[in-house]
Amino acid sequence: MKFSVPQTLEKIAAILNCDFVGDAFFPVLGMNEIHVVRSGDIVFVDHPKYYDKALSSAASVVLINKKIPCPKGKALLVSEDPFRDFNILSQHFKPFISAAQSIDPDAKIGAGTQLQPNVFIGPNVKIGENCLIHPNVTIVSDAVIGDNVIIGSGTVIGGDAFYYKKGPEGYDPLISCGGVCIENDVHIGTGCTIDRGVTADTTIGAGSKLDNQIQVGHDTLIGKKCLIASQTGIAGCCIIEDEVTIWGQVGTNSGITIGAKAVILGQTGVTKSVAGDKTYFGTPIQESRSKLKELANLRQLPALLQMLKEK
């Protein structure tokens, strides 16, 4: 997330009431999670295991829970609770806007786009031309939807990320302030849920088609011309490359990559990243030919055991 107006290190420290290491006028341009962080951004880290990753990232400012030597060209914000303070910054720079009507008056809706009854469109939404948005669709906020997009009834675009940290009194959410980008010619079926990014965008590439009842987690990137069947659940921060086919009831771990033109057969558990141009099946996932041979061999096991018993 980029700030609408560039900030300084001193101003950010004042918002958080925390100490800082670096030039008071060090420029701060935005804030992001580690996997999407860029120069000028703040990134947070609250465990020594990940200090090196944060300090060596593209981030210019590291929100950290210990005063340590500051790498050259960077700055530090020293906080008792970086997770909490990252949320404070999210609320400060991207406060929740309560809706006063079903369609935000500032929503941009292109020519030829049809909105069926009971559609909700929140703030900071742009919809392109010749789209069809069916009844009871909710576009929560911060979404860019391209041309010729179809969204089925009851689908929710832009729900909050499922991202929690266990605290002393339960699970604390990381506040979502990212968005959703749906490119041209995408079709999304009935009853789907496309979560917004935490600080960046969840993206569905041009020409992709999603069946009914599909969950797409926060910050996931789905490529162009993908085909995804019903009841698939894609976790957060996944990369689904171009022209991937995913059949029904597939589930993925977070942070995995599925290579271009891969085919994932139904009821597969994608437990790790897989290369493109291959067909996969099973849990844990493996190439389908190997898995099906394995299952065929297992079916012979009772007969083999019986033969051994008879000997």
CATH code of 59's domain: 3.40.1390.10
pLDDT of residue 142: 97
Shared domain check, 282 and 148: yes
Tell me the one-letter amino acid at 41. Answer: D
Shared domain check, 276 and 184: yes
Q: Residue 294 pLDDT > 90, yes or no?
A: no
Token pair of 134, please?
Answer: 């069916």
Shared domain check, 112 and 63: no
Q: Residue 303 pLDDT > 80, yes or no?
A: no
Shared domain check, 288 and 170: yes
Shared domain check, 177 and 203: yes
pLDDT of residue 195: 98
Shared domain check, 127 and 21: no
Burial letters 183-217, b for 16+ CB under 10 A, else e: bbbbbbbbbbbbbbbbbbbbbbbbbbbbbbbbbbb
Q: Is 0.85 topped by the overall pTM?
A: yes
Q: Residue 118 pLDDT > 80, yes or no?
A: yes
Q: What is the mean pLDDT of residues 266-284?
A: 96
Shared domain check, 224 and 141: yes
Residue 100 lies in a domain: no
Domain boundary among the residues 63, 93, 123 is at 93
Q: Alpha helix locations (H) across the chain?
A: 9-16, 51-55, 82-93, 288-299, 301-310
Mean of the per-residue pLDDT values of the chain: 95
- Tracing tokens 């958080």 back to the chain, one arrives at 16
pLDDT of residue 94: 95
pLDDT of residue 205: 98
Residue 307 lies in a domain: no
What pLDDT, in 10s, does the model give residues 41-52? 999 999 999 999
**In terms of residue numbers, what domain contains 178?**
108-293
Query: How do strand 286-287 and strand 279-281 relate by DSSP bridges?
Result: antiparallel
Residue 220 sits in a domain of what CATH number? 2.160.10.10
Give me the number of domains the chain comprises.
2
pLDDT of residue 21: 96
Residue 103 lies in a domain: no
Q: Residue 292 pLDDT > 90, yes or no?
A: no
| DSSP string covering 32-72 | --GGG--TTEEEEE-SGGGHHHHHTSS-SEEEESS--PPPT
pLDDT of residue 290: 83
Q: What is the mean pLDDT of residues 72-78?
A: 97
Q: What is the mean pLDDT of residues 190-194?
A: 98
Shared domain check, 179 and 126: yes
What pLDDT, in 10s, does the model give residues 161-176? 999 999 888 999 999 9
Shared domain check, 144 and 231: yes
Range name among 240-244, 257-261, 291-295 with the lowest pLDDT average: 291-295
How many CB atoms neighbour CB 39 within 10 A?
A: 11
What pLDDT, in 10s, does the model give residues 140-152? 999 999 999 999 9
Residue 310 lies in a domain: no
Shared domain check, 86 and 233: no
Residue 18 lies in a domain: yes
Catalytically active residues, by annotation: 218
Shared domain check, 242 and 117: yes
Cβ contact 255:272 at 8 Å: no
Q: Sorting pLDDT into bands at 50, 70 and 90, what band is 251?
A: very high
Shared domain check, 118 and 12: no
Q: Which residues contact 252 (CB under 8 A, 6 or more apart)?
A: 233, 234, 235, 238, 258, 269, 270
Q: Sorting pLDDT into bands at 50, 70 and 90, what band is 270?
A: very high
Nearest alpha-carbon partner for 89 in 164, 219, 1, 196:
1
Length of the chain: 311
Residue 278 lies in a domain: yes
Residue 246 lies in a domain: yes
Range name among 28-42, 159-173, 241-255, 279-293 with the lowest pLDDT average: 279-293
Residue 303 lies in a domain: no
What pLDDT, in 10s, does the model give residues 78-103? 999 999 999 999 999 999 999 999 99
Query: What gap in Å lies between CA 81 and CA 64, rounded to an integer?
Result: 8
